Amino acid sequence: MIPIAKPYLTEDEAQAAYDTILTGWITQGPKVQEFEEKFAAYTGAKYAVAVSNCTTALHLAMIVAGIGPGDEVICPSMSYIATANAIRYVGAIPVFAEVQPNDYNLNVADAEKRITDKTKAILLVHQIGMPADIDTFKDLCDRYSLKLIEDAACAAGSAYKGAKIGSHSELVCFSFHPRKVISTGDGGMITTNREDYYNRLKLLRQHGMSVNDRVRHEASKVIFEDHVELGYNYRMTDIQAAVGIKQLEKLDWIVEERRKIAAAYNQAFKGIASIRLPEEKEGYFSNFQSYSIYLKGTAPVDRNTLMQHLLDKGIATRRGIMNTHREIAYKNYMPRVSLPVSEDLQENSIMLPLYVPMKAEDIVHVIDCFTHEILAAADTGKAMV
């Protein structure tokens, strides 16, 4: 079976975790600080704060941005449910806007239509690693005095207008889940250029503790901590951070290899008129966290049938990105919302295997089987006519 994805972890990461365990310092400590500093340097942000996962990163970003009960935050429904959930965690209301069919990212014109006097922020998702148009949304937020928060769960290693994702706005949240380009098993990171956000994020992730364990351990005098506000247990372990440091060293190479696979897919499928391939505009640089193909109305086979045929040939695929407003947890929470573009993309998109290292023969097998299924279905349709 060719899987849809798998993390690239080697003996380097295993040794790093092993060495860290033997130090006796296995929770938030020196390795976490090192990972934060190196991740900030990589993205070009002033600061980075490591947390337990991207969902907790989004939650803390909402808090420091001042989002609270009754506030509205515009975001795509076409995103993993954690995007909207983080808004609800602070008592705010997610307001779903449409996405663009070419890159699955938030449509700025539709987002603007949904701004009200209750709107406090826009949560911009870089969907499956393809950068969204950050500058256009920054301008929109400036005009309406809104906060811009980036959900960059899938975007480590991606870039926008020559700068890595993570350096463009005040709060950017990353994921290190195994489905992402680099992984720490689980884990997350928030980058920011604001010192006040940085200091408060560090407080909030560790129960609002004024002095963390590492500082007390390294101090030459007795220090007593205080708990200055309601906080959370959103810490990353040093074991995870040690793995993350090794992963970060390989990130650019991993992205380069992923882009080669995506390029092979693009080259092989570009002549098939009934599908739409990922669009990477000038100035946008995707890490290709996933490779998604859209089946047009002229496609000779429906998406679900195609997925089953590929599975029968040993190729795992996934459906298009979920629509949160169609999930039970949201159907029962909010009035029905109509998002025809998002719904169409969910129903008619298919994600193909893409991971590093992916064997050349497996790439060829995916290409051959996908092409065969599309063309065979087309020939069958012609024969029936």
Kind plus residue range of the DSSP H or E element containing 202:
helix 195-204
pLDDT at site 379: 58
Walk along the chain (385 residues) in steps of 10 and give the mean pLDDT of each run: 97 98 93 98 98 98 98 98 98 98 97 98 98 98 98 98 97 98 98 98 91 68 79 96 98 98 98 96 97 96 96 97 96 92 98 98 98 76 41
pTM recorded for the entire structure: 0.94
* Annotation marks residue 118 as catalytic: no
Kindly report the number of other CB atoms within 10 A of residue 147's CB atom: 21
pLDDT at 209: 87
- Are both 39 and 122 inside the same structural domain? yes
Question: Of 180, 202, 246, 250, which one is the catalytic site residue?
Answer: 180
How much is the pLDDT for 382?
46
- Confirm whether 2 is domain-assigned: no
Structural domain span for residue 23: 11-249
For residues 229 and 297, membership in a common domain is answered with no
In whole angstroms, what is the distance from residue 254 CA to residue 372 CA? Answer: 29
Are residues 242 and 311 located together in one domain of the fold?
A: no
Sorted by sequence, the CB contacts under 8 Å of residue 380 that are 6+ apart come out as 300
Among residues 217, 249, 281, the one where a domain terminates is 249
Q: Is residue 96 located within the same domain as residue 162?
A: yes
Report the CATH number that the domain containing residue 292 is assigned in CATH.
Answer: 3.90.1150.10
Count of domains forming the chain: 2
Cβ-proximal residues to 207 (8 Å cutoff; 6+ apart), any chain: 227, 231, 232, 233
Name residues whose C-beta falls within 8 Å of residue 323's C-beta, 6 or more positions apart in sequence. 77, 78, 339, 342, 343, 346
User: Is residue 85 located within the same domain as residue 229?
Assistant: yes
